C-alpha cells in the first residue's frame, strides 16, 4: 500500500489551501475504497482456494499449501514499503537463481561434452583395438608365411636362375685338311658345336663385305645389299667383332650378273678359291653361313649360284632357290629374296585384312614358255650338274591341263570373279639357261600389287621341273601375296618348301594343294568361312611384318633360325634403366604421420617383405615347350624374357606332391571361406607380389595423398613413380612411409609412353598401372590382383570402355565411355598388366603408334588394349562395378579437355589402320567375388565383405 500511495499523484496549488486539502481528501477516499475492494476480493479468492484445498485436489502437497498461506498472510499484513523491498528481494533471488541455473546448465553441457568425448575416445580405442587386432592377425599370418618361406629355402635343392652367363670360346677354327662328303651334311656331323656353348649367347661374326667379297666378273654384290646387310647386322645383338669367340661366320655372296659365262669352270674355280681363302674357313667351311640374298634378278640362275660344282664344304647355304638333291634339310635354309626396305615401320605397305572377301576370288599373273624338248648343251669343260643338262617340258603335261582348267574357270558361269593371266613376257632365246621351267612374275611390282589388293586368294604355281624344291620366283610371289593381304594358294604345294619352313607353320596362313587337285580348288576356296579367311590373313600379315618385310627382319630371322636349331636361348630382352629423380647425395624427407582414409576392417592378406618374382626359370625350355607359339603366334623369337604371361601351369595335385615350393593353397588345401581365404593367395600359381606404377606430372600433393593411401596394402612389392615433369620435386616435400620402397624415376621426356617402359626396378610379373589421382580401396586392389593371377595374359582392371561403330560414317570407329553392358577396353589408369607387355609396347609395337600417343598426349591406354588383344585374341577382364574414378579437389586432368574424346576417336581409327584390322574384342563379362551376394552361415565370412 505504501507503494501505491507513493505512486498516487499529488498536486499543490498556490490559490488557496482549502481547495487543495479538499482535493486530497477526495483522492484518499478513493484509495480507501480501492483497498477495501482488494481486501474483499482477496478474501473471496482465499476462501475459494481453501475450499479447493479441503476437497483434496489431486497433486496438491499440504506443505506447499501451508507455505503459500504463510506467504499470503505475510503479504496481506505487509505494508506497501515492505512489499516493495520484498519484491526487489525476490527479483534479486530470481536473478541469482537464474544465474545459478545458467551455471548449472553450462556445467551440464560441459559434462555432456566430456561424456561424448569420452564415448568417442572409447569408440576410438575400440576401433584402435580392432585395428591392432587386425594387424596382429596379419602379423600372425605373415609369420606363418615367413616360416613357410624359410622352410622352402632350406629344403630347396635348385639354384635361383638368372640371365645366362656367357661362356665363350677363345680360339680360331682349326685347319682341317680332309673334307667329308658335304652332300650328306647335317647339324650333328658337319657343325662344330664346341664353338657354340648353350651359354655363349650365340656370337656371330660377319666378314666385312668391303674386304671379303665373293665376286668375279660375273658375280657381284648389290650395293644396296652390301651396305644394308652390314648395317642391319650391326643392330643385331649377337654380332661380335672378335672372330675367336664367334659361333658362326657369315659370308655375303654376290648375285649373277651375266648368264652366259656363269657356269664356266673358270668362274667356278675363282669363286671356290675365294671361299677357301677366307681367313677363318678352317679348311672345310664349318660353321660358315653362305648368304645369298638375290634381289636384282629373281631368275633361278641368280638365285642358285651353288648348283654347280663349287665345293662349299660344310658351310650352310642360305638362299631362295634350291635343287631337290642339293638342299640339305634342316641344314641349308630357304629364305625369301630381299625385296623390302632396310627397316622401320612398314605398316603403310600392308593392306587391311578386312573385308574377308575381295573383288577377285583368285588371281594369277605369270607365264611359262612350253617347248616339246628344251636341251641345254653344256660347254666344254663345264661341270654343270646332270640334273639341269636337259629340261623336258611336254605340251601334254599336267601344267597344260592346269592352264586349260584355270582358263575355263574364268569364263565359267560362276558368280565368282577370277583374274588369270598366262602371257606377259617375251619369248625365250635358244640355248640360254633361263627359268623356263618356272612361272615368271608378270608385269611390274606396282601393277601386281594393285591386283593382289583386290584378291582374296593369290595363286602360286610350283615349278614344272620337279627337281626344284624352291625358286626365287615362288618366294617373291609369297612375299607379295602376304604383303597385300591375299591368301597364298600353292598349287603343287606338296613338292616345294616355303621360307623358314622348319619353324613357321605355313598351313595357318597358306593353302597347299597337289596339282592333281586343281579341279577341286574352286570348291575348296568357296568352302572357307569368313572367320577362317581373316585368321589366315592376319597370320600372314604377322609373318610378313616380322620375318620378311624388311632387311632387318630377314637377317634377324636367319640368325634366330640357326640359333634355334642349336637350342641356344636368345639374349635377354633389354630393360629400361631407372634413374632416380634425386642425386646421390640428396636424402628425401620422410613423413611419419600417415593420414589415410579409413579402410574397411577386413583382413586382406599377410604383410610380407618385398619378394621379387622368380625370373629366367625357363631359359632353356621356353623355346622347346612354346616353340610353335613363339615363332607363329607371338612372332618374337629374338628375345629372352624373364617371365611370360603364357608360362605353363602345374596340375592341382602337383603342388601337394613334389612341387609345393612357393604355393600357398587356401586352408593348406582344405579350402575355406573368408578367413582362410585371406590368409593365403591360393590359385594355380606360386606366391607373388605386384608393383604399382604411377605416372605423375606436377601434382605433388595429389601424388603424396595417393601414396599415403597405400599404407598396409598386402602383397605390394614396391611403388614406382614415373616423374614426367621436367621440374624436380621440391626439396621439402615429405614422402610417406608406407612399408615398401618408393622408387621415383626421372623420365627422359614428358611422354605418356613412359607409363609402359620395362623399368629394371619392376621385379614382379604383375604391374598395377594407376593414375596419380585414382582412388582405389585396398579390397578392390586385392580382388583385382587375385583375378589377374587367373588371367595373366589379359588386361584386368576397373574402368571399362568400348569401341562403337560410327552410325554416320560407316567406315570408322568411335571411342565410347557411356555405361554399357558390353565393353572392349579397360583403362590402364587402374589396371593390372603383365610386365611382358611393357617390353612389347616399347620394342615390338609399331613406332607410329607411340608417335601418335606423343602427338596427342593421349591414347596410351587404348594402345595397350590394342596390343594385348592383338596378341592374345582375348578381351580385357573388368572387375567390380567401378566405371570411373573421380578425384574431388584434384587439378583438372587431361581427360577434362574438350578435345580429349575427339583425339581418342582418331586414335582408335589410326591404330586399327596400323594393325590392319580392329583387334579389340567385345565382352559382356565382369568378375565379382565368388561369395558376392551369397547367403552364408553366421560363422562364415565372405571372400571380400564389400565386393
CA-based nearest residue to 385, from 305, 270, 297? 305
Say if residues 255 and 293 touch (Cβ distance below 8 Å). Answer: no
CA-based nearest residue to 284, from 313, 310, 309? 313
Q: Residue 938 in 3-state DSSP? A: coil
Measured between alpha carbons, how far is 885 from 887 in angstroms, rounded to an integer? 7
Say if residues 806 and 730 touch (Cβ distance below 8 Å). Answer: no
Q: Is 929 exposed, middle or buried (0-12, 13-18, 19+ CB in 10 A)?
A: buried
Taking residue 85's Cβ as centre, other Cβ atoms within 10 Å add up to: 13
Measured between alpha carbons, how far is 71 from 53 in angstroms, rounded to an integer? 16
CA-based nearest residue to 223, from 342, 346, 336, 317? 342
In the Cβ-directed half-sphere of 238, how many Cα atoms lie within 13 Å? 30
H/E segment holding residue 291: strand 288-291
* Measured distance between the N- and C-terminal CA atoms of the chain, rounded to whole angstroms: 84
Say if residues 691 and 768 touch (Cβ distance below 8 Å). Answer: yes
DSSP 156: -
DSSP 386: G
Which residue among 861, 897, 898, 939 is the active-site one?
861
How far is C-alpha 566 from the chain's CA centre?
31
How far is C-alpha 574 from the chain's CA centre?
17
Taking residue 909's Cβ as centre, other Cβ atoms within 10 Å add up to: 18
Q: Is 660 an annotated catalytic residue?
A: no
Q: Is 82 exposed, middle or buried (0-12, 13-18, 19+ CB in 10 A)?
A: middle
Say if residues 418 and 525 touch (Cβ distance below 8 Å). Answer: no
Taking residue 150's Cβ as centre, other Cβ atoms within 10 Å add up to: 10
Q: What are the beta bridge partners of residue 468?
A: 323
Measured between alpha carbons, how far is 473 from 464 in angstroms, rounded to an integer? 13
Q: 487-491 and 511-513 as β-strands: parallel, antiparallel, unpaired?
A: parallel
DSSP 691: E
Say if residues 730 and 608 touch (Cβ distance below 8 Å). Answer: no
Q: Indicate the length of the chain as a whole number.
A: 947
Strand order in the sheet with 248-252: 204-206, 248-252, 288-291, 316-319, 333-334
What are the residue ranges of helices labelled H in 801-925? Answer: 836-843, 847-856, 860-872, 900-915
Measured between alpha carbons, how far is 306 from 268 in angstroms, rounded to an integer? 9
Measured between alpha carbons, how far is 386 from 389 in angstroms, rounded to an integer? 5
How far is C-alpha 805 from the chain's CA centre?
24
What are the residue ranges of helices labelled H in 277-340? Answer: 300-303
Measured between alpha carbons, how far is 194 from 175 in angstroms, rounded to an integer? 15
Say if residues 919 and 905 touch (Cβ distance below 8 Å). Answer: no
Say if residues 450 and 477 touch (Cβ distance below 8 Å). Answer: no
Angle (CA) 6-11-12 rounded to 5° is 125
State how far the alpha carbon of 779 is from the alpha carbons of 596, 715, 754, 879, 931, in Å.
15, 12, 28, 12, 14
Give phi and psi for 579, each to the nearest 5.
-70, 135
Active-site annotation, residues? 861
Amino acid at each position: 500500500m505504501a507503494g501505491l500511495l507513493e505512486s498516487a499523484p499529488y498536486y499543490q496549488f498556490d490559490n488557496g489551501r482549502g481547495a487543495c486539502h479538499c482535493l486530497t481528501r477526495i483522492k484518499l477516499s478513493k484509495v480507501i475504497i480501492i483497498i477495501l475492494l482488494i481486501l474483499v476480493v482477496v478474501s473471496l479468492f482465499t476462501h475459494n482456494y481453501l475450499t479447493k484445498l479441503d476437497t483434496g485436489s489431486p497433486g496438491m502437497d499440504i506443505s506447499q499449501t501451508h507455505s503459500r498461506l504463510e506467504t499470503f498472510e505475510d503479504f496481506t499484513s505487509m505494508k506497501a514499503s515492505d512489499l516493495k523491498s520484498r519484491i526487489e528481494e525476490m527479483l534479486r533471488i530470481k536473478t541469482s537463481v537464474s544465474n545459478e541455473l545458467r551455471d548449472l546448465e553450462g556445467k551440464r553441457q560441459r559434462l555432456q561434452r566430456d561424456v561424448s568425448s569420452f564415448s568417442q575416445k572409447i569408440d576410438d580405442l575400440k576401433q584402435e583395438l580392432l585395428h591392432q587386432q587386425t594387424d596382429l592377425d596379419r602379423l600372425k599370418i605373415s609369420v606363418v608365411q615367413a616360416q613357410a618361406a624359410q622352410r622352402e629355402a632350406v629344403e630347396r635343392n635348385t639354384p635361383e636362375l638368372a640371365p645366362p652367363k656367357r661362356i665363350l670360346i677363345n680360339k680360331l677354327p682349326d685347319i682341317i685338311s680332309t673334307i667329308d662328303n658335304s652332300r650328306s651334311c647335317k647339324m650333328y656331323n658337319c657343325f662344330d658345336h664346341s664353338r657354340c656353348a648353350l651359354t655363349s649367347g650365340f656370337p656371330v661374326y660377319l666378314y666385312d663385305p668391303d674386304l671379303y667379297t665373293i665376286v668375279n666378273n660375273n658375280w657381284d654384290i648389290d650395293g644396296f645389299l652390301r651396305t644394308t646387310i652390314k648395317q642391319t647386322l650391326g643392330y643385331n645383338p649377337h654380332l661380335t667383332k672378335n672372330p675367336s669367340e664367334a659361333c658362326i661366320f657369315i659370308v655375303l655372296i654376290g648375285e649373277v650378273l651375266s648368264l652366259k659365262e656363269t657356269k664356266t669352270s673358270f668362274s667356278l674355280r675363282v669363286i671356290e678359291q675365294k671361299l677357301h681363302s677366307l681367313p677363318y674357313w678352317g679348311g672345310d667351311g664349318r660353321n660358315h653361313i653362305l648368304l645369298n640374298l638375290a634381289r636384282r634378278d629373281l631368275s633361278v640362275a641368280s638365285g642358285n649360284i651353288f648348283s654347280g660344282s663349287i665345293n662349299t664344304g660344310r658351310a650352310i647355304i642360305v638362299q631362295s632357290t634350291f635343287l631337290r638333291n642339293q638342299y640339305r634339310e634342316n641344314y641349308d635354309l630357304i629364305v625369301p629374296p630381299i625385296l623390302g626396305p632396310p627397316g622401320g615401320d612398314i605398316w603403310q605397305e600392308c593392306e587391311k585384312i578386312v573385308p574377308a572377301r575381295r573383288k577377285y576370288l583368285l588371281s594369277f599373273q605369270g607365264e611359262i614358255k612350253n617347248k616339246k624338248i628344251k636341251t641345254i648343251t653344256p660347254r666344254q669343260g663345264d661341270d654343270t650338274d646332270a640334273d639341269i643338262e636337259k629340261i623336258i617340258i611336254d605340251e601334254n603335261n599336267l601344267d597344260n591341263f592346269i592352264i586349260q582348267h584355270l582358263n575355263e574357270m574364268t569364263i565359267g558361269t560362276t558368280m565368282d570373279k577370277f583374274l588369270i593371266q598366262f602371257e606377259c613376257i617375251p619369248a625365250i632365246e635358244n640355248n640360254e639357261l633361263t627359268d623356263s621351267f618356272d612361272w615368271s612374275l608378270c608385269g611390274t611390282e606396282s601393277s601386281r600389287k594393285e591386283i593382289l589388293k583386290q584378291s582374296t586368294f593369290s595363286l602360286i604355281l610350283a615349278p614344272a621341273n620337279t627337281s626344284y624344291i624352291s625358286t626365287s620366283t615362288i618366294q617373291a610371289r609369297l612375299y607379295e601375296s602376304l604383303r597385300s593381304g591375299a591368301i597364298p594358294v600353292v598349287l603343287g604345294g606338296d613338292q616345294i618348301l616355303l621360307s623358314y619352313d622348319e619353324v613357321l607353320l605355313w598351313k595357318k596362313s597358306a593353302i597347299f594343294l597337289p596339282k592333281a587337285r586343281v579341279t577341286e580348288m574352286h570348291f575348296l576356296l568357296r568352302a572357307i568361312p569368313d572367320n577362317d579367311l581373316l585368321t589366315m590373313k592376319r597370320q600372314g600379315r604377322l609373318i610378313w611384318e616380322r620375318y620378311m618385310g624388311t632387311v632387318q627382319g630377314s637377317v634377324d630371322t636367319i640368325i634366330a633360325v640357326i640359333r634355334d636349331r642349336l637350342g641356344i636361348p636368345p639374349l635377354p630382352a633389354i630393360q629400361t634403366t631407372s634413374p632416380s629423380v634425386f642425386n646421390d647425395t640428396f636424402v628425401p624427407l620422410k613423413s611419419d604421420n600417415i593420414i589415410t582414409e579409413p579402410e574397411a576392417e577386413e583382413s586382406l592378406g599377410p604383410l610380407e617383405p618385398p619378394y621379387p618374382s622368380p625370373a629366367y626359370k625357363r631359359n632353356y625350355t621356353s623355346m622347346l615347350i612354346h616353340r610353335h607359339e613363339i615363332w607363329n603366334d607371338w612372332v618374337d623369337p629374338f628375345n629372352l624374357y624373364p617371365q611370360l604371361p603364357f608360362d605353363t601351369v602345374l596340375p592341382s595335385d602337383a603342388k601337394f606332391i613334389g612341387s609345393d615350393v612357393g604355393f600357398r593353397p587356401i586352408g593348406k588345401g582344405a579350402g575355406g571361406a573368408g578367413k582362410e581365404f585371406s590368409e593365403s593367395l591360393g590359385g594355380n600359381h606360386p606366391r607373388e607380389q605386384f608393383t604399382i606404377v604411377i605416372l605423375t606430372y606436377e601434382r605433388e600433393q595429389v601424388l603424396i595423398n595417393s601414396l599415403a593411401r597405400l599404407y598396409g596394402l598386402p602383397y605390394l612389392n614396391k611403388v614406382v613413380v614415373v616423374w614426367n615433369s621436367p621440374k624436380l620435386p621440391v626439396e621439402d616435400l615429405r614422402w610417406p612411409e608406407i612399408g615398401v620402397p618408393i622408387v621415383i624415376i626421372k623420365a627422359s621426356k614428358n611422354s605418356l609412353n613412359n607409363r609402359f617402359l620395362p623399368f629394371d626396378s619392376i621385379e614382379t610379373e604383375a604391374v598395377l598401372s594407376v593414375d596419380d589421382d585414382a582412388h582405389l580401396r585396398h579390397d578392390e586392389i586385392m580382388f583385382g590382383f587375385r583375378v589377374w593371377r587367373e588371367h595373366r595374359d589379359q588386361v584386368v582392371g576397373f574402368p571399362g570402355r568400348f569401341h562403337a561403330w560410327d552410325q554416320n560414317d560407316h567406315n570408322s570407329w568411335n571411342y565410347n565411355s557411356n555405361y554399357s553392358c558390353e565393353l572392349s577396353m579397360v583403362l590402364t589408369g587402374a589396371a593390372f598388366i603383365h610386365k611382358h607387355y611393357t617390353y612389347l609396347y616399347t620394342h615390338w609395337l609399331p613406332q607410329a603408334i607411340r608417335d601418335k600417343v606423343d602427338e596427342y598426349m593421349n591414347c596410351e591406354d587404348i594402345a595397350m588394349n590394342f596390343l594385348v588383344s592383338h596378341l592374345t585374341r582375348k578381351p580385357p577382364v573388368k572387375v567390380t562395378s567401378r566405371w570411373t574414378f573421380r578425384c574431388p579437389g584434384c587439378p583438372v586432368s587431361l581427360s577434362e579437355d574438350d578435345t580429349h574424346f575427339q583425339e581418342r576417336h582418331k586414335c582408335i581409327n589410326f591404330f586399327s589402320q596400323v594393325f590392319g584390322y580392329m583387334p579389340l574384342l567385345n565382352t559382356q563379362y565382369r568378375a565379382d567375388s565368388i561369395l558376392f551376394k551369397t547367403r552364408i552361415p553366421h560363422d562364415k565370412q565372405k571372400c571380400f565383405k564389400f565386393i
